[in-house]
Chains A and B, each alone.
Chain A
Amino acid sequence: MFSTGFKYFLGVTVVSIAALIMSLFVLDQLAIAGVAISMLITVTALLAGIATATHDGQTTTSTPDSSGELATQSIWPLVSGVGVVLLALGLVTSSIVFFAGLIVLLGALVEWMVQSWSERASKDTNYNALARKRLLNPIEFPILAALGLGVVIYSFSRIMLTVNKTTGASLFIIFGALVLVGGVLFAIKPNMKRSIGVAICVLGALGIVAGGVASAVSGEREELVEAAAEGHFTHAECGPEASKYFDKLAEGTLSLRSSVSAIVVYQDGELIANIQGLVKPQKTLTIGRSIPTNIVFRNATEGEFRLVAHLGDKVADESTDGETHKNETCTQLVAPGAEQSLTLKISKPSSAKNAYYLYIAGAEDKKIELVVP
């Protein structure tokens, strides 16, 4: 009388109703949750009705065969439980935990499903285990290998961040040479004991991981710490001179090319803004209040120049007697013919003329007024 589909959807409906009732007590604002759960109830109730009306679309009934074999012990229910807990925990803590839970849960469910299936394949336990391996090992091994390699590579990267450049290059050479030697060894000694090969690989990996841990504890080399302190994207001194770290490795290419607010070009001693929709080059640029605005600076001269955005004067703290200093942000020194983007966000309107403007470092008369209405 009651089809499987009907029971399933009825069960979901009942659980959803319970969830709706619970949410009435737990949630302050029921608007979205209430609508969502009500829709779920409606849909599952409708599906339950359809399932029973159509007898799950079955015209004949059949009873599934049973192998009669008892299931072996399995770790996957436990792992699934851990996944569910991480999932729930992630909902209230962080998305990383949530996705970790999701991965653990999905992985465990796949393992559990295949194990259950394989245990019913035959009455021969060994054959069943083989069936499971044939299905899952091609997936498990690459994943485990990738995870192991990931740990080794990450550890190696920590080592590279700690040692100086020369040592780093040497380590790379040594590491590459060792891999080559190991490969040659395995090639010329095909009958070498498997355990020896495993031992070499494991010891090597452990050595790198141990080195990585030690490097992580020791911290990054001073040069990198200084560069990070200076800031890769913000630079306090937007002068014409080159900065030790900020201007290092200024890239001549730019991924942001379309949908920008304006392309600011420095050419023939003039600074102009090309704005899509306006035919003539502009000397003023209107940008919205509190809107992240991307500008591309194109250096069409023969020298290296930096575009600076003057964003008003900032009043310093009381210790400097209210002295003001410039509030500026800038690009790196841009090579001839190269481009770089600059993102601005201005929250106050430009009530006074020339409150905000763009200019070329070292040539303050080359400017474009920024109008913030």
Chain B
Amino acid sequence: MSRRQFDNWLRATIASVRVVLRKVFKPLVVVAGVSVVVAGCATNAPQDTWQPKGPNSKLIDDLQQPVFAVAGIIGLIVAVAVIYTMIKYRDRGQPIPEQIHGKPALEITLTVIPALILAVVSVFTFGAIFKLAKTDDTQMIINVTGQQWWWEYDYPAQNEFGITQPIITSGQLVMPVGTKVLLRETSRDVIHSYWIPALNGKRDAVPGRVHTLRLEADKPGIYAGQCTEFCGLSHANMRMEAVALSKEDFAKWVANQQAPYVAPAKETLAQQGEEVFLNQCVRCHQVNGLMRADGTPAIAAPDENVWSGAAPNLSHLMSRNTFAGAMFDLLSKQCRDEVWNAPSEVVGAKYLAGVTEECLNQKDLRAWLRNAPEVKPMYANPADLAVSNGKYRGMPYLALSEDDITKLVAYLITLK
């Protein structure tokens, strides 16, 4: 093909593309617009910011609704004015009209009106900020730690809630309804951000600092959230759920979390699974009360293997509904739906039932144990760990045999 022929071909191609673009542009805009509008009608939207379920989120909602309305009306007026001007005065070859400058009355008016609107908005905004920052009426505190890519919750001893020894869990934050809970957030590695839209706004979790966030739920239920500060490879998979239980149900949950470890029965598959756990998993994962064969407590040493220095504590794992940073459900879909869609009066009982053998999501759990980095992106390739002194960020591939996985699953299901 000569250069002239190539030029002609390229011109023809571009002309064709231009024609196609002109033809599809308007339908594309319409489809995109309709999609955006229709997306607002979604019913399965657990992270909808416009459905507050607690006093803190309602405070934000009461502020943002009128602000959004005012901003929306102003935005609409501006958009209509701009579009009208663009169409009416579009370039049709007419001479440029006379340029004028200086209309003090108009300019002052157009400055003062927005300033007044912003001043009014700021008064209510500051009021809301101060109310949300209050900590002196706290009834319960929970320490929250972000780590690539999961959340850890530890409950310091608080006798008024029956917590006589620290409780440590992950993935799901369990709290009593109608209680002013103060989260004390920090991070082990990079900056994360904690956000349960139904219960309050976002708050960054920063290494070396303790930031506080108030949470309070009106009714029992499960409220979804998401890390909202980009924190690395699996940021999108760093999820969390807040489980609000009635005070009676919360007391039951606390009692279960403080229950001593029950070793699996001898000569069972679960006991063999415990041995696999002691050989493989206990290097990073703690199970409180688990003893080694020599009678000494099995203390995990995640700081020797994991860059950020910790791994989820798996005590009472099956009292949770999720694993791997709440990315996967421990419950099968049907059982999960039964908990999530339960009326608030019975959601506590359904949640406290935990994960039974029939409800266990074996597929995802086995896939996780088989090769975790394959199902959740993590920095866990041994060849790429020079920058982290050979330590993992996330769970590595453990080369477990299918037999070992079966034993481990049988053991994990006993961690009620």
Contacts and interface: CB of A to CB of B under 8 A. Distances in A.
A51 B309 CA distance: 52
Contact of B11 (A1, A292, A347): A1
A371 interface: yes
B166 A371 contact: yes
Contacts of B91: 59
Interface stretch (A127-135, A277-285, A323-331): A277-285
Interface string A334-355: 0000000001010111010000
Contacts of A52: 14, 18
Given A286-B154, A290-B188, A53 B208 contact: no
Interface in A248-262: 259-261
A277 B188 contact: no
B310 A275 contact: no
Contacts of B377: 31
A261 B211 CA distance: 9
B208 A289 contact: no
A20 to B, nearest CB: 20
Interface in B142-160: 143, 145, 152, 154, 156-157
B310 A289 contact: yes
B310 A276 contact: no
Contacts of A260: 209-210
A53 B21 contact: yes
A278 B186 contact: no
Interface in B277-330: 286, 297, 299, 301-303, 308-310, 313
A347 B303 CA distance: 6
A371 B168 CA distance: 12
A277 B138 contact: yes
B286 A291 contact: no
Contacts of A289: 302-303, 309-310
B143 A259 contact: no
A68 interface: no
Nearest to B181: A277
B13 to A, nearest CB: 11
B17 interface: yes
Interface residues of A, number: 33
A53 B18 contact: yes
A318 B152 CA distance: 38
Contacts of B207: 291-292
Contacts of B138: 277-279
Residue picked from A288, A292, A343, A371, most chain B C-beta under 10 Å: A288
A334 B308 CA distance: 32
A294 interface: yes
A168 interface: no
Contact of B184 (A29, A277, A371): A277
Contacts of B188: 288, 290-291
Given A1-B11, A278-B138, A348-B299, A288 B143 contact: yes
A343 B377 CA distance: 32
Given A31-B377, A373-B166, A288 B157 contact: no
Nearest to A292: B208
B136 interface: yes
Residue picked from A29, A59, A343, most chain B C-beta under 10 Å: A29
Nearest to B169: A373
Contact of A291 (B14, B145, B313): B145
A227 B206 CA distance: 32
B372 interface: no
B309 A347 contact: yes
B143 A286 contact: yes
A49 interface: yes
Interface string A146-181: 000000000000000000000000000000000000
A284 B157 contact: yes
Contacts of A343: 208
B365 interface: no
A290 B182 contact: no
Interface in A196-241: none
B172 interface: no
Contacts of B302: 289-290, 347
Interface string B1-40: 0000000000100100110010000000000000000000
B297 A261 contact: no
Contacts of B208: 292-294, 343
A49 B152 CA distance: 49
Residue picked from B136, B167, B186, B206, most chain A C-beta under 10 Å: B186
Interface string A356-373: 000000000000000101
A291 B152 CA distance: 12
Residue picked from B143, B299, B302, most chain A C-beta under 10 Å: B143
A212 to B, nearest CB: 36
A288 B152 contact: yes
Interface string B161-192: 00000111000000000000010101110000
Given A31-B377, A259-B209, A277-B138, A291 B299 contact: no
Given A53-B21, A259-B211, A373 B168 contact: yes
A291 B186 contact: yes
A276 B210 contact: yes
A288 B154 contact: yes
Contacts of A53: 18, 21
Interface of B: 11, 14, 17-18, 21, 91, 135-136, 138, 141, 143, 145, 152, 154, 156-157, 166-168, 182, 184, 186-188, 206-212, 233, 286, 297, 299, 301-303, 308-310, 313, 377, 384
Given A259-B206, A286-B154, A347-B303, 18 more contacts: A49-B21, A53-B21, A261-B210, A275-B141, A276-B182, A277-B141, A277-B212, A284-B156, A288-B152, A288-B154, A289-B302, A289-B309, A290-B309, A291-B145, A291-B207, A349-B299, A351-B299, A371-B156
Interchain residue pairs A-B with the least CB separation, the first 7: A290-B309, A347-B303, A286-B156, A373-B166, A259-B209, A277-B182, A277-B138
